[in-house]
Amino acid sequence: MKNKAVKFLYIAGVTGLLTLGSCSKKIDEAYVNPNATTRVPVETMLPGIIGNMVGSSSAQGSAYGTANDGLYIGRYVQFWATNTTGNQFDQMAGATGASDLLGSVWAMHYYGMGQNLGRMIDWAAEEGKTDFVGVGYAIRAWSWLTMTNMYGDAILRQAFDANRLVFDYDSQEDMYNEVRRLCHLAIATLNSATSSPQLAQGDAYFYGGDLNKWKKFAYSVLSRSFNHLTNKSIYNPDSVIYYANLGINNASDNAAAKFLATGLSGTYNFFGPFRSNVGALRQSRFIANLMIGLNPMFPAVTDPRAPYIIRGNTNGTYRGIRPNKGSDGLATNDQPENFWGQAFSSTTAPGTDVTCRYIFRNGSPFPIITAAEVHFMKAEAYLRKGAAFAAQARQSYIDGINASFDMLTGTADYHNSVPAAMQITPASRAAYLANPVVVPAVGSLTRSHIMLQKFIAMYGFGLVETWVDIRRYHYTDLDPVTGLQVYADLTPPSGTDLFTDNFGKLVYRARPRYNSEFLYNIAALDAVGGRALDYHTKEQWFSKP
């Protein structure tokens, strides 16, 4: 990774010293160096840092964050597929050639947040604004975990050294340790801090300066970091549960980026029609079948959440498509609407979002970590602890489903465009939870139940985290109880539907961002085999035994 902006700042400063001499002070006063470090109030830095969690823009590039890369990750996990054939990401390819696709999280972490987040923490510490310091540590921990789960090996120890032009890579295990160190540092700092009006101002579109919610955020990141290691001998379900219990447990505490949806493009949801980024995407057959009773784990069960998160067709039913199959042979009346409520064939965004729902509206909040996810992590951990914890596993599973319903019904943007006759009612919700196919008796809950309900609860926004889950289960691992795949009915591309450069393997990582590593940091990239055509199929540390 090469921080071009920092390098230019450093070189410009040295050149000035060499050429201006004693005149430099007067010239600097008359012509302020636009590349010099300018100290600004930390509250003005935080909104842009938080914006990077989803997708921000700058003069050096655009759409840094999880949402832009999520357009492609969502194809890997079969949230959606493209409405035509031949898309390389439908085929589980990585980025190829000089493309920066799937490099947005890399840029988010090292550039978009990067030195900005470091300076915010340092300046806030100097100014005694410990609330900003604690929030900064929590964001940095989340960013490290998100970034390494995308790319695996990356730059840790030398990451923000402005005096370097090239950088060595570090192991994913080291980055997981750094995540935990930062989480504990965040929590300790927040415990001793008082929320200031300045934090409420800078944090207006996330937690509004609520330090208790930021602590729950940090605890949830900790729980994630332990939950990811289910295939390892060091996996500790008690750590997952302990930190989950301290984390986000109520939908009102969900961590979500909010949008003003006025003026500049960056004030709108990345998936909304104003940004026009999801025009070619259509819901997958996998999610549609999960919600209409065609998945073998939930046979003949219609999910009341379906009209909230997926789209119908002119027949009044729900159907989806498979990767690289275009319209997948569906008759015109069976083809699902696009995510903005238009015809399957339409890729042009509407002028307004009145027909849009869920996270596909211009102003809809974009979740980062939710209570539903945290409860499902607990459910899986309890289940793995054994039969003695079956009741706790089942209750956490129920809590996860309820938290998903709470998010949909309690967030105006998620239900305002759902026709009244299709909206969730207390009766429809209770009937769903009372169905033993959905919520089996104590002792009958399986990993498939948990992971499939978690998939539904995080549909569309849980991009990196859902990919982590599916990679933990190697896409097609079997449930030890049912004998079916944990992700029952998920069918990854194969044969001619799988990208040629995969050499028959599925995708496990993104390659590092082209416009830094492939141009400036080749030696480090080569040390991890990063230029191999199938590097994106190399399994990561977190999912290995």
Say which CATH number the domain at 241 has: 1.25.40.390
And the tokens for 90? 């439908």
pLDDT digits (tens, 9 = 90+) for 504-526: 999 999 999 999 999 999 999 99
| In-domain check, residue 494 | no
**Average pLDDT across the chain, whole number:** 93
- pLDDT higher than 80, residue 530: yes
pTM of the complete model: 0.93
**401 and 298, same domain (yes or no):** yes
Question: Is residue 2 in a domain?
Answer: yes
Q: 9 with 57, same domain?
A: no
Q: How far apart are alpha carbons 49 and 423 in whole angstroms?
A: 35
So what's the pLDDT on residue 61? 55
Helix-strand-coil split of the chain, %, nearest 5: 50, 5, 45
Span 278-333, pLDDT tens digits: 999 999 999 999 999 999 999 999 999 999 999 999 999 999 999 999 999 999 99
Residue 60 — very low, low, confident or very high, per pLDDT cuts 50/70/90? low
**Is residue 303 domain-shared with residue 432, that is, in the same domain?**
yes
Count the domains in the chain.
3
Residue 252 forms part of a structural domain: no
Query: Within its chain, how far is the Cα of 49 from the centroid?
Result: 15
CA distances from 92 to 50, 80, 135 (A): 29, 13, 36
Please check whether residues 404 and 505 belong to one and the same domain.
no
- On whether both 373 and 443 belong to a single domain, the answer is yes
- Verify that 144 and 233 share a domain, yes or no: yes
Q: Which of 472, 487, 516 is the last residue of a domain?
A: 472
Residue 200 lies in a domain: yes
SS3 378: helix
Same domain, 241 and 345: no
Three-state secondary-structure class, residue 58: strand
Backbone angles phi, psi at 467, to 5 degrees: -65, -40
Asked whether residue 485 is assigned to any structural domain, the reply reads no
215 lies in the same domain as 290: no
Q: Tell me the per-residue pLDDT of 251-293, one tens digit each, with 9 for 90 and over.
A: 999 999 999 998 888 899 999 999 999 999 999 999 999 999 9
Which residues constitute the domain of residue 505? 41-246+501-543
Q: Given a cut of 70, is residue 440 above it in pLDDT?
A: yes
Q: In a 10 Å sphere around its CB, with 0-12 CB exposed, 13-18 middle and 19+ buried, how is residue 79 labelled? A: buried
406 in a domain, yes or no? Answer: yes
Residue 484 lies in a domain: no
Question: Which amino acid is it at 450?
Answer: I
311, 344, 319: which is closest to 417 by C-alpha?
Answer: 311
Does one domain contain both 5 and 91?
A: no
463 & 509 share domain: no
Under a CB-based contact definition with an 8 Å cutoff, are residues 179 and 141 in contact? yes
Do 198 and 341 reside in the same domain of the chain?
no
